[in-house]
A and B are shown apart, each in its own frame.
Chain A
Amino acid sequence: MSAGLPIGPKPRPRRFHQASWDEPIVFELSVPGARGVLPPATEPGITALVGDPAAELPPGIGRAAPPALPELSQVHVLRHYDRLSQETLGVDLNVDVGQGTCTMKYSPKVDDHLVRSPKVADTHPLQDASTVQGTLEIMWRLERMLAEISGMARVSLQPASGSAAIWANVAMIRAWHESRAEGDRRDEVITTIFSHPSNAAAAKVAGYRVITLYPDADGYPDLGALRAALSERTAALLITNPEDTGIFNPRIEEFVRVVHEVGGLCSYDQANANGILGITRARDAGFDLCHFNIHKTFSTPHACGGPGAGAVGVTAELEPFLPRPTIERDARGFFLDEDRPHSIGKVRPWYGVTPNLVRAYAWIMSLGADGLRKVAETAVLNNNYLLARVLEIRGASVPYATGRRRIEQVRYSWEQLHADTGVHTEDIAARVADFGSHYWMSHHPYVVPEPMTLEPTESYSREDLDEYAAILAEIAREAYEEPETVLTAPHRSTVHRIDHEPLDDPARWAITWRAYRRKHLGGS
């Protein structure tokens, strides 16, 4: 039987099914004796001279038994991981607007190709500067571009990621106050609940007491609450703007001013910068420090959760505290300056996540000033377009700042849908997988009830946004008409609903296959 000609139109949303290879754990694929790759063997001439030093290691120092790694032929390693990759939904495959705050934009393939060059991949960080002038120049140029984009005096590319950059900024804040003999007295850091949790967490790691501000009734950061929290103990304000709600704080200059009045510093988490490139800058609002997530705003691939890259920008007053080394230039060319007596030191080995820095440089060079502004404007247009589409869906709402536009993302609420149907936002997340896309709720705690955070970026077409809205509309329809479909999702994903309870039980959790065998298969 066939459906006949002409072939009917495609139904919407699409009839997706995720790859589901039912793939065993790699250890279950092991065939004793099989080899995946062969390392070079020692030359006879070497053995003749030095013997086998590994065999001569003293007991307790040499390894007694070989590691119980799996043994696979090469093609089976490749096939196993290719299958697992197919069971993973990257930006390359989906309308990835559902991972709000993550800025899931297109990572241009040409940039990936550029960094595969041995001139990047096979260079060592201790090579003499004369042999890596190309990379140093790219990093030097990228620093200056980010300084211009943020308005800051100087940038370091050393931090490994956004949170590591937050840490670097907190460490500089701490060092700055210590340099003024105020380190002991200034022991409090203020942040907001809609700023990334790493702001609060990194401040705590640095030894600060953390004060978290909640929004006012309109969802804006509460200036009154900030004033009440400020004192001579204030070391800094760490704040995102726009916050994770997508709302831009219109009083941001006043926030900065009142913190400065008590002698505190202001650090701008620019993880959400994608909608304001070329529109407004951290320094113009008075900030002393800021950071960018290179893997978000500047397009480098998210890599399943890193490597990303971070950049920190500071005013001239804070420049001496930047991580060492800095990249400098003199008549002989570019060089690394380790002689930075006030530096907080290293926050990471070497100088940064080089391949991502090269990618980011190439990305900015492909866009220029007008292109970056077009990125921002399009991300914001896409976001407000999707906002209009989502608000057409029964049970969805947008808390706070009623009637105001949003910048690059929106935190929505399914409170009404939940009240009507009993379906939670987590159930919707599981069901979105059945339509070949992602969906994210919110950081914790859920200040917005039944939250959903969407960030469309500039990388999606109107049709893409319509498709994502149609997926949500279909799931909302199901919630009202056939809630079991949503409550038991996923149905067309790689696997079915997971029982998370053992993951919180020390007697049953298993973080490695050997722990699983020991706890659940009676193995040793």
Chain B
Amino acid sequence: MPSAVPTSAAPWWVWPVALFIVTFVLGILAVLGGVGGGVLFVPIVGGFFPFNIDFVRGAGLLVALAGALAAGPGLLKRNLASIRLAMPVALIASAAAIVGAMIGLALSAAVINTLLGATILFIVIIMATAKKSDFPVVPKPDALSQSLGIMGIYREESLGKDVEWTVHKTPQALFMFIVIGIMAGMFGLGAGWANVPVLNLMMGAPLKISVATSKFLLSITDTSAAWVYLNQGAVLPMIVIPSLVGIMLGSMIGVKILAKSKPKAIKWMVIGLLLFAGLRSLLKGLGIWK
């Protein structure tokens, strides 16, 4: 029969206050980086707070979800997040996230952290070596994206002009979103870390559209995975609520900054954030940085 174990001597309230402060900052950074906050939340809170990784992942999904819900309305109204682009990929990713969540809750923490870290570092390499990701050239939209009407036009404030966009390689991207969804559910992440590269580098959506649509997409993908964790009991209000409130407030600030920011700055911020998060997870999983 499992029994309670003694932990740190700090009063219980220290951790909710610390969570609120940390997640407020993460909320701002997550919107600018389009990574949903979960990929930062899970390794940082899992690494420096005393909570078990199960509860951290459950909270991480809800944190990413809350951040996406807070940012979603603004991004949709500013025409930066595309529902037509998000809905097909969200269906694939959300279904896969259920599978991933169930697998993830059955795996050991060491395996999860190692795989998570390796995956994030792989994405960092891809993003750091990509060329012309701000406004990718799409020679011709594919048949699927044309039939679904996945296209749009948005106001690029940093250039002061309207930008039209289309996408290609939609079938390949949908396959990638199966993998992304599984991993999002497995690791308790928001999947933004992979959404943005696939939307931007594979499908050819402009970086700002990719970041914004990714953020909106998280609200759908993470809903399915979050319910699996919730139904398994892997949600503790004392961890979730301060984190949720912090990141939602931070996300609202982030949305106001996003529309006026430059695509290049966003790209390098995402890379820096992912590099730190990935290294932490990998080293923890390998038992090097405990």
A interacts with B: no
